[in-house]
Amino acid sequence: MEIRKVIRTLGFLIALLAVWQSLAILEVYPEYIFPSPLGVLQTLARGFQNGRFVIGIASSMQRILIGFGISAILGVAFGLALGRQRWLNDTLGALVLGLQTLPSICWLPIALLWFGLSETAILFVVVMGALLAITTATEAGVKNTPPLYLRAARNLGARGWKLYALVILPAALPSILTGMKLGWSFAWRSLMAAELLYVSLGLGQLLTMGRELNDMSQVIAVMIVIIAIGLLVDRAVFAPLESRVRERWGLNS
Amino acid sequence: MKLEIRNVGKTFQSKSGAITAIDTATLNVRAGEFVCLLGPSGCGKSTLLNLIAGLDKPTRGEILMDGKPIGNTGTDRVMIFQSAALFPWLSVFDNVKFGLNMIGVPKPERQVIARRYLAMVHLAEFENAFVHELSGGMRQRVAIARALALDPAVLLMDEPFGALDAQTRDLLHGELQTIWQATCKTILFVTHNVREAVVLGDRVVVFSARPARIKREWTVDLPRPRQIESYAVVDLARDIMQTLKDDVLVSQRDNDAQRLSELEMQMIGDDVL
Ligand SMILES: Nc1ncnc2c1ncn2[C@@H]1O[C@H](COP(=O)(O)OP(=O)(O)OP(=O)(O)O)[C@@H](O)[C@H]1O
Ligand SMILES: [Mg+2]
């Protein structure tokens, strides 16, 4: 079953590349609108060799790591508070729920007005991208803490912050991880959007540059890099983490 | 430690109205006594243990330990839940150390104590395992070690072996009796299984159908260690069974019958054999 699936997916991709390459060879469209896959590959290789892509990736990764880190810390803290305090939930909780429907790039105008054309503005958009998803997921995790764990913990003398840190937080971890995974993909999208609009080093800037130079192969090469990083982080970081936690927490059966 | 339950009652307020789980219960438990509580499903046995543990507040009456009213939860009374309720994010070792950490026992001491109780329940070589890697019986043993590590005066056990197969249960009956004799704890043990009650208890207390009242008591004078298939145990169990059976029928007639589980009918089947 699995093998058939892999073959199908691979076959489709190879066919797609073949059609693309033959269209390019036939020169149906001019090169600057419709680059060949080989051309894109060359651009990719060149971009890594001369270091421009490496610098772009490094600056984007730095932003997302800082921004995502901030949202993770804030989101978990907010979620813990919202999940346990009824009055916070009725006030801030309602606000969070409303704001969640706002695409995070819509925070850019505010960010620009508050922070000017700066790194901080981009970071703000990234943080807002992931924050609400992580907050809501943490809150849900806290609210769904099995009451049995709480009773057992109280019974064994757990109180106050120890109850939060050693029982409620770990009990909510599977849900928090799901929120982080979602938050990561939101943050990555917001970052790319913000980098497109506000030009400084980064993958978004490489995209914009490709457009300005009418270099379609660069545009596509950068798109491939963006997809690859998004997928890689999801598959190599979040998926294994999530499945390990789910197994250990006994949620897989 | 001596435990006095004086005219305790508990009424739950729920959306569908008030449910009186316990009418009045009065029970005195001597220090170091092993008391087994029996009664039809839904009659309020778990409720009573929760009240003693301090996880819930009684509506009426009071509960005293050595003459002093119990307050909130306290580590002098530790509950062992039917489903073990271990923390899956902690290793076996850390689970056993959990309560010690909560009450502020210094780290090196925690380790020594935890190792001692893990050895007592024969799980020393599993200290690094995680909960999902253990069988049901092993989990229950970890829960027992976790509770014992706090050295509570009173151990509250709510159908701890209910979900186990007969062999494992017999094994744990043996271990529990040994531990009890070695540690002199006061134990309240809720069970559905009459023979289990007779094997373990100094005294067997039978509750009526909900709202719970204490219906009858038996003192079990049989010598220990007791075997679940010995004639003396089977005879006494049959006697108790008859009383309980009448009550199950009453509870069936009054019908909250969704709470009247197959388990009970099965138990009657088992025990009348
Ligand atoms: N939190 C609660 N709110 C409302 N009713 C409750 C609550 N807890 C228990 N009850 C009711 O109180 C009664 C006694 O429940 P309890 O769990 O003590 O029974 P039990 O004797 O332990 O039964 P079992 O042998 O099936 O475990 C039941 O009818 C139950 O519906
Ligand atoms: Mg019960």
| Residue-wise pLDDT tens digits, B216-239 | 888 898 888 888 888 988 988 998
Whether B131 and chain A come into contact, CB under 8 Å, resolves to: yes
Looking at residue B66, its pLDDT comes to 86
**What is the Å distance from ligand 2's center to B268 Cα?**
18
Mean pLDDT of B188-212: 88
**Which residues have CB under 8 Å from A148's CB, separation 6+?**
B81, B83, B85
Instruction: At A247, give phi and psi (nearest 5°).
Output: -65, -50
Q: Please report, for the domain that includes residue A153, its CATH number.
A: 1.10.3720.10
The per-residue pLDDT for range A129-162, each reduced to its tens digit, is 899 999 999 999 999 988 999 999 999 988 888 8
- Cα–Cα distance between A128 and A103 in angstroms, integer? 9
What is the distance in angstroms between the Cα of A166 and the nearest Cα belonging to chain B?
A: 9
Say which CATH topology domain B3-76+152-272 has.
Rossmann fold (3.40.50)
Say if the Cβ atoms of B78 and A162 lie within 8 Å. no
Complex-level ipTM: 0.81
In a domain, A185, yes or no: yes
**Which residues have CB under 8 Å from B93's CB, separation 6+?**
B114, B118, B127, B128
The boundaries of the domain holding residue A158 are 66-248
The per-residue pLDDT for range A156-211, each reduced to its tens digit, is 988 888 898 999 999 999 999 999 999 999 999 999 988 888 768 889 989 998 88
In a domain, A90, yes or no: yes
Residue B256 Cα: closest atom of ligand 1: 29
**Which residues have CB under 8 Å from A46's CB, separation 6+?**
none
Q: Chain B interface, mutation test: which of A155, A163, A244, most B Cβ atoms within 10 Å? A: A155
In a domain, A160, yes or no: yes
Helix axes A2-25, A37-49, angle to 10 degrees: 100
Kindly list the domain boundaries of chain B, sorted by start residue.
3-76+152-272
Residues paired with residue B217 on neighbouring β-strands, in sequence order = B205
In a domain, A178, yes or no: yes
Kindly state the percentage of chain A with pLDDT values over 70: 99
Say if the Cβ atoms of A249 and B102 lie within 8 Å. no
Top pLDDT among B186 and B244 is at B186
Looking at residue B255, its pLDDT comes to 54
What is the distance in angstroms between the Cα of A147 and the nearest Cα belonging to chain B?
A: 10
Residue B259 Cα: closest atom of ligand 1: 26
Measured CB to CB, residues of chain A less than 8 Å from chain B are 148-149, 151-159, 162, 166-167, 170-171, 173, 247-250
Binding pocket residue ranges, ligand 1, CB within 6 Å:
B 12, 14, 19, 21, 39, 41-47, 210, 259
What is the β-pairing status of strands B77-80 and B154-158?
Answer: parallel
Q: How confident is the model at residue B258 (pLDDT cuts 50, 70, 90)?
A: very low
Q: Please name the residue of chain A whose CA is at the shortest distance from the CA of residue B84.
A: A152
What is the overall mean pLDDT for chain B? 84
Does residue B271 have a pLDDT over 70? no
In a domain, A51, yes or no: no
In a domain, A79, yes or no: yes
Whether B85 and chain A come into contact, CB under 8 Å, resolves to: yes
Long-range (24+ apart) CB contacts under 8 A made by A11-15 are none
Cβ contact B47:B211 at 8 Å: no
In a domain, A59, yes or no: no
- Cα–Cα distance between A234 and A228 in angstroms, integer? 10
In a domain, A212, yes or no: yes
